[in-house]
Amino acid sequence: MKRKMKMGMIGGGPGAFIGAVHRMAAVLDGQIELVCGAFSQTPEKSKAMTESLYLDSNRVYNNFQEMIEREKFLPIGERMDFVSIVTPNHMHFLPAKLALENGFSVICDKPVTLNSQEAEELAALASRKNLTFALTHNYTGYPMVKEARSLIRNGALGKIRKIVVEYPQGWLAGPLEKTGQKQAGWRTNPKEAGISCCMGDIGSHAENLCEYITGLKISALCADLTTFIDGRLLDDDGNVLVRFDNGAKGVLYASQVSVGEENSLMIRIYGEKGGLEWRQLEPNTLLFKKAEGHTQIIRTGVGPLSAEAQMHTRLPPGHPEGYLEAFANLYRNFAAVLQAKEMGVATDERMDFPTIQDGVRGMKFIEAVVKSSQSEQKWVSL
């Protein structure tokens, strides 16, 4: 019998931003229930989440080790079915590894680890244990992203020639990390964020989006990273020339010092027969620019759309399908895979989500960007 999947959360305690986003997205479809958590590295802060989340105090743990060790001995149907990891980057690998080793599937924030070796270790472990591993590149959950992917798969653009993807923000245009702001603090700290701030944080979203929509893989790149803020230890701006495995060329740039920008993720894809354009700030609209000289405006929920887009559309036409809905699509699809595994039935392949293999790709991209930026040779193969 189909049942709700039970979630345990690592991270997302007092003052955290992304933990609340995950919790809202996870429960939106009624397929997932939060049953336990280790919400902070500080036991007192973790326990403080008990009342606000209406959890059994015995299942709000002091640390992730205790949570995983105790949950695995509870009966199926009562214990958590999977772990959601919403910590800073340096706290992804160890909890994910321990969860997989103890038989729990994982959904994790990106980038998946601090380096590609750790990512590959998790990929091998998930495969060996036959467990599901999802990565929350949430922009892949938007209906018009699904529509763009379907159009390309069905040959509407012909062979892809050019991809331009950009993700400018302005929130780190000053030394925000020196004010004690939590999000800026860990993202600019190499010990917590890894080898990159801007490219690791939002450039990885741009990389994932262009590979997801087009089905192409980045084969080589030439990067130029900059740290504009004096005293900052990691990059806050990056520009990358990209080569794809079908011969297409591209430009990828990400910036956190673009004053006045919010989350202005945008992608343009050009093929032999037409082009596509999608902006995250106007997510209900996909522009299909045709070779004959006219542009078709495709809207979420309007007219004939692909089955993939329809499956991920939640609201009637004219109502924005936003950030939380896209995030929730990943959680819903992840839960559906876990439910199907438990029941021994097939999963609809259209109910997809980024996987641990996308996490490996993302880490190799970040490492190649940093390597290229530091090299005089510049072009670096993935």
pLDDT digits (tens, 9 = 90+) for 193-237: 999 999 999 999 999 999 999 999 999 999 999 999 999 999 999
Q: Find the mean pLDDT for residues 234-254.
A: 98
Q: Which residue has the tokens 């040779």?
A: 377
Question: Is pLDDT larger for residue 320 or for residue 244?
Answer: 244
Q: Residue 306 belongs to a domain with what CATH number?
A: 3.30.360.10
Q: Find the mean pLDDT for residues 75-91.
A: 96
Q: How far apart are CA 212 and CA 382, in angstroms?
A: 17
Tokens encoding 125: 């472990």
Beta strands across the sheet bearing 295-299: 295-299, 285-290, 274-279, 266-271, 160-168, 249-255, 237-244, 218-226, 380-381
Are 163 and 309 in the same domain?
Answer: yes
Q: Find the mean pLDDT for residues 84-97.
A: 97
Domain presence at residue 323: no
pLDDT at residue 175 above 90? Answer: yes
Q: What percent of the chain has pLDDT over 90?
A: 93
Q: Which residue has the tokens 């989350």?
A: 263
What are 272-287's pLDDT values in tens digits?
999 999 999 999 999 9
Are 135 and 96 in the same domain?
Answer: yes
The per-residue b/e assignment along 72-96, b for 16 or more CB within 10 angstroms, e otherwise, is: eeeeeeebbbbbbbbbbbbbbbbbb
How many Cα atoms are found within 13 Å in the side-chain-facing hemisphere of 288?
A: 18
Q: How far apart are CA 116 and CA 137, in angstroms?
A: 17
Q: Is the alpha carbon torsion for 170, 184, 61, 75 positive or negative?
A: positive
Tokens encoding 213: 């929509």
Q: Which residue has the tokens 């809905």?
A: 325
How many Cα atoms are found within 13 Å in the side-chain-facing hemisphere of 76?
A: 6
Q: Return the CA Rg of the chain.
A: 21
Are 86 and 225 in the same domain?
Answer: no
Q: How far apart are CA 321 and CA 142, in angstroms?
A: 7
Domain presence at residue 225: yes
Q: Which residues pair with 38 in a beta bridge?
A: 10
Domain presence at residue 106: yes
Are 84 and 131 in the same domain?
Answer: yes
pLDDT of residue 380: 80
Q: What is the reported pTM? A: 0.95
Are 178 and 117 in the same domain?
Answer: no
pLDDT at residue 360 above 90? Answer: yes
Describe the crossing of helices 356-374 and 204-214 by its angle, rounded to 10 degrees. 120
What are 178-204's pLDDT values in tens digits?
999 999 999 999 999 999 999 999 999
Are 377 and 287 in the same domain?
Answer: yes
Domain presence at residue 94: yes
Looking at the structure of the chain, the number of domains it has is 2
- Centroid of chain to Cα 308: 19
Q: How far apart are CA 165 and CA 200, in angstroms?
A: 15
Residue 15 banded pLDDT, cuts 50, 70, 90: confident
- The residue ranges of DSSP E strands in 159-294, in sequence order, are 160-168, 218-226, 237-244, 249-255, 266-271, 274-279, 285-290
Give the DSSP H or E segment for 342: helix 323-343
pLDDT of residue 166: 98
pLDDT at residue 348 above 90? Answer: no
| Cβ pair 87, 110 in contact under 8 A | no
Residue 1 banded pLDDT, cuts 50, 70, 90: confident
pLDDT of residue 347: 87
Q: What percent of the chain has pLDDT over 70?
A: 100
Are 286 and 343 in the same domain?
Answer: no
Are 312 and 332 in the same domain?
Answer: no
Are 194 and 227 in the same domain?
Answer: yes
Tokens encoding 210: 């262009």
pLDDT of residue 243: 97
Residue 379 banded pLDDT, cuts 50, 70, 90: confident
Q: How high is the mean pLDDT of the chain?
A: 96
pLDDT at residue 71 above 90? Answer: yes
Q: Which residue has the tokens 């504009």?
A: 228
Are 158 and 295 in the same domain?
Answer: yes
Are 146 and 134 in the same domain?
Answer: no
Residue type, 216: L
Are 146 and 229 in the same domain?
Answer: yes
pLDDT of residue 16: 87
Q: Residue 92 belongs to a domain with what CATH number?
A: 3.40.50.720
Domain that includes residue 370, residue range = 142-317+360-381
User: CA–CA distance from 268 to each of 22, 134, 146, 208 (Å)?
Assistant: 28, 26, 15, 14
pLDDT of residue 100: 98
Q: Find the mean pLDDT for residues 296-316.
A: 95
pLDDT of residue 376: 84
Domain presence at residue 43: yes
Residue 1 CB neighbours (<10 A):
5
pLDDT of residue 382: 79
Q: Find the mean pLDDT for residues 117-131.
A: 98
pLDDT of residue 349: 87
Domain presence at residue 322: no
Describe the crossing of helices 64-71 and 93-101 by its angle, rounded to 10 degrees. 10
